[in-house]
Amino acid sequence: MKWSTSLLGLLSFIAVVVNGAENPRIIIVGAGAAGVAAASRLYQRGFRNIIILEASQRFGGRIYTTPFGPGIVELGAQWCHGEVGNVVYQLASVYPGLLKSSIIADEDAVLIRSSGARVPEAVADRLQTMAEGIIESDQRDSFAGSLGDFFTQKYWQTLATPAYKDISRDLAEQFLVYYHNYERGYTAYDSWFEVAASETDSYVEPAGNQDIAWNGKKGFSTILDIVSGNYPGTTNTSLTPVPINSLVKYGKFVSNIQWKGSPEGDVIVKTQDGTIYEADHVIVTVSLGVLKENSGTMFSPALPTVNQQAITGLYFGTVNKIFLLFDAPIPEDFPNTVHLLWYKSDLTALRQSPHAWAEAISTFFRIDNQPNVLMAWMNGAEGRRAESLDDATIRNGILHLLKIFGNGLDFGNITGLLRSKWSSDRLFRGSYSSRSITTENLNTGARALGTPVRNAANEPVLLFAGEATNPVHYSTVHGAIDSGFREANRLINYYS
């Protein structure tokens, strides 16, 4: 079998044999973590007829390690979350010095009020522990309303008990607003009133340190080298070096996939530049945001109902980052992690100011290995709107917040600014997936999204991978890599 001809010429490929059968033609759409994982697993098991169609000019997707100042920062995935059952940790931890506990993992997060006063550590710990207990409560499973309704009800009930009689009403209100903002950033939804308290899919947190940082010049991108067998010093003989760059066709935005393509059963893939490919199987690894925007025209015929409902029902939210480079180290008195608590009057004033967009910022973080860099974390609808603002407006808004929550500290001068714009980027349209009330109403989830589409001969011709297809590790790189391995294994098993 061979690649089809198009106006752009003949796309030829070499046929080899896998387990006595001609090596199938496999197209992978998207060169993010899931796409690289799927391609690597297939290649390392003897499949060679692989092409990865990537719409951008780089691979990595939402892993986006970027030079900034004297080092690097992570515009996308930043920390390895957990150790046990985390494929990223399992693959990377065998290399001494590659991973280390992040500076934000030392439990010194500080809650600072818009008066500049810090919430006493003991009080902050009690409130945080109480809030986490509500989020993790088994009572959520039998609650019919939203997560926001459940949390606020339990929150005020708990605060009414004698154990919390020392917590003032204004602090309780401020903490509630902060914790909602914190949860929005953690799970990438706009409001917890859009999320069902009882969820069918439940994220499973791998045991161990949840904030593990990367050493080295390539940061989180190193995991792509490890998965593809290209990390220097790789000793795992099963990780055959995969020529990723020779497999990837860059600048190829897939506009249509005819999964009931030719009479011979080929899948026909068309890209926006007019190129046409034929394949036996296509693994789609684009973000859920791209599927939401394009699935109506991307697939011919329309996807089965099970996949369509998952695309509609799953949530895909926004978390953005702003990195600021100063001409001096961040002041020692500024904690590694700062959560922002607003008095109502101060928040009202902010909303009426030119810095209204800055309400989207929930937290400031210091950056590992970059003492002069500070990161602001933005969530939700306000964070999306901020993507359209110019850098000068963003810079002034950050400085305004630092005057309030930096308690008179001297941060020096800003010499560089870098930020993500995940929602306005047509190749992503958001940051990562979560669940909503619609998810539960449609009785759908990650497994439904990852259901393979089969042709009349019951062959899996269209497969789906990516963090949003992982029912227990969605929203993570390890979830994306696991899903890429899963779909590669599906084809490997099919041909074995």
Domain ranges of the chain: 26-62+216-316+435-495, 106-208+319-421
pLDDT of residue 408: 86
Supply the CATH classification number for the domain 26-62+216-316+435-495: 3.50.50.60
Query: Is residue 30 predicted with pLDDT exceeding 90?
Result: yes
Using the predicted structure, report yes or no on whether residue 20 has a pLDDT greater than 90.
no
Return the minimum-mean-pLDDT range out of 9-13, 363-367, 399-403, 425-429: 9-13
Least confident stretch, 102-116, 119-133, 226-240, 369-383: 226-240
Token output for 302: 């329309």
pLDDT higher than 50, residue 3: no
Highest mean pLDDT among 144-148, 228-232, 250-254, 453-457 belongs to 250-254
Contacts (Cβ under 8 Å, ≥6 apart) of 434: 187, 188, 189, 195, 314, 315, 316, 317, 474, 475
pLDDT of the residue at 107: 66
Q: Would you say residue 58 has pLDDT above 70?
A: yes
pLDDT digits (tens, 9 = 90+) for 100-147: 999 998 667 899 999 999 999 999 999 999 999 999 999 998 998 999
pLDDT for the residue 198: 87
Instruction: Taking residues 88-92, report their average pLDDT.
Output: 96
The set of residues, in sequence order, having a beta carbon less than 8 Å from that of 67 and lying 6+ positions away, is: none
pLDDT confidence of residue 15: 41
CATH topology of domain 106-208+319-421: Polyamine Oxidase; Chain A, domain 2 (3.90.660)
Q: What is the pLDDT of residue 21?
A: 52
Give yes or no for residue 9 having a pLDDT over 60: no
Write out pLDDT tens, residues 388-414. Answer: 999 999 999 999 999 999 988 999 999
Residues 242 and 27: their CA atoms lie apart, in Å, by 15
Least confident span in 137-141, 170-174, 198-202: 198-202
348 burial type by CB count under 10 A (0-12 exposed, 13-18 middle, 19+ buried): exposed
Contact call for residues 301 and 260 (beta carbons, < 8 A) = yes
Q: Can you give the pTM of this predicted structure?
A: 0.93
d(CA 268, CA 462): 11
Question: What value does the mean pLDDT take over residues 414-425?
Answer: 97
Closest CA to 30 of 7, 59, 6: 59
pLDDT at residue 190 greater than cutoff 60: yes
Q: What is the pLDDT of residues 302-349, one digit of tens each?
A: 999 999 999 999 999 999 999 999 999 999 999 999 999 999 999 999
Query: Which segment of 77-91, 96-110, 313-327, 454-468 scores lowest on mean pLDDT?
Result: 96-110
Of residues 110, 109, 108, 117, the one with CA closest to residue 346:
117
- Output the average pLDDT for the chain: 91
Alpha carbons 396 and 323: distance in angstroms, whole number: 13
pLDDT range class, residue 22, cuts 50, 70, 90: low
For residues 184 and 62, the model is more confident at 62
286's CB contacts (< 8 A; 6+ apart) are: 29, 30, 254, 427, 466
Cβ partners under 8 Å of residue 342, min gap 6 = 113, 114, 174, 177, 178, 350
- Identify the pLDDT of residue 112: 96
pLDDT score recorded for residue 6: 33
